[in-house]
Amino acid sequence: MTGPTTWDPTAPGVLRLPSGRLLRGRALSRPLPPGPHPDFALHLLGRPPRPVTWESRWVRWPDFRLPADRADAAAAFREAWERSATERVEVGCAGGRGRTGTALARIAVLDGVPPAEAVRYVRDHYDRHAVETPWQRRFVRRLP
């Protein structure tokens, strides 16, 4: 699935889902990595994110917590997953681990990873410290 509209699968922060779709997770507090910009970004922050030149969606999600609106978050995860079939999709929070890992795990569930295995999948293939809190782990397993 690698092509002009997807990420380099060997680039830092890129997660390959079982279907072959690629998403990039990153810490928004760090500089933008070299290479192509996202086509679409999902920003998971407690406050509105800084403006970007590509299309983005903000999910209000305070650090170490859960999304303020779970239905909105679920719709945003679905949009990110759907768009990742043909676009470069980036998922990010301030540190790139807790909220980003939680969202990537939920997106992995949409891609077919069983909910009980999604946190392990993201830790094995994205960041070993992803999904930081017990309530984030429960959120991955229980969000419909």
The pLDDT score that the predictor gives to residue 144 is 62
The pLDDT score that the predictor gives to residue 85 is 96
Count up the domains in the chain and report the number.
1
* Token representation of residue 25: 């997770």
Q: Is residue 5 part of a domain?
A: no
Q: Is residue 29 part of a domain?
A: yes
Please, are residues 52 and 41 in contact by the beta-carbon 8 Å criterion?
A: yes
Please tell me whether residue 119 adopts helix, strand or coil conformation: helix
The pLDDT score that the predictor gives to residue 2 is 42
Share of the chain residues as helix, strand and coil, in percent rounded to the nearest 5: 35, 20, 50
Q: Is residue 1 part of a domain?
A: no
33: how many CB neighbours lie within 10 A of its CB?
A: 15
| Residue 15 β-bridge partners | 23
The pLDDT score that the predictor gives to residue 1 is 43
* Per-position pLDDT tens, the chain of length 144: 444 578 999 999 999 999 999 999 999 999 999 999 999 999 999 999 999 999 999 999 999 999 999 999 999 999 999 999 999 999 999 999 999 999 999 999 999 999 999 999 999 999 999 999 999 999 999 866
Q: Is residue 6 part of a domain?
A: no
The pLDDT score that the predictor gives to residue 4 is 54
Structural domain for 45, as ranges = 14-142
Q: Is residue 35 part of a domain?
A: yes
36: how many CB neighbours lie within 10 A of its CB?
A: 15
98-113 burial code (b ≥16 CB/10 A, e <16): bbbbbbbbbbbbbbeb
Q: Is residue 64 part of a domain?
A: yes
CATH number of the domain to which 43 belongs: 3.90.190.10
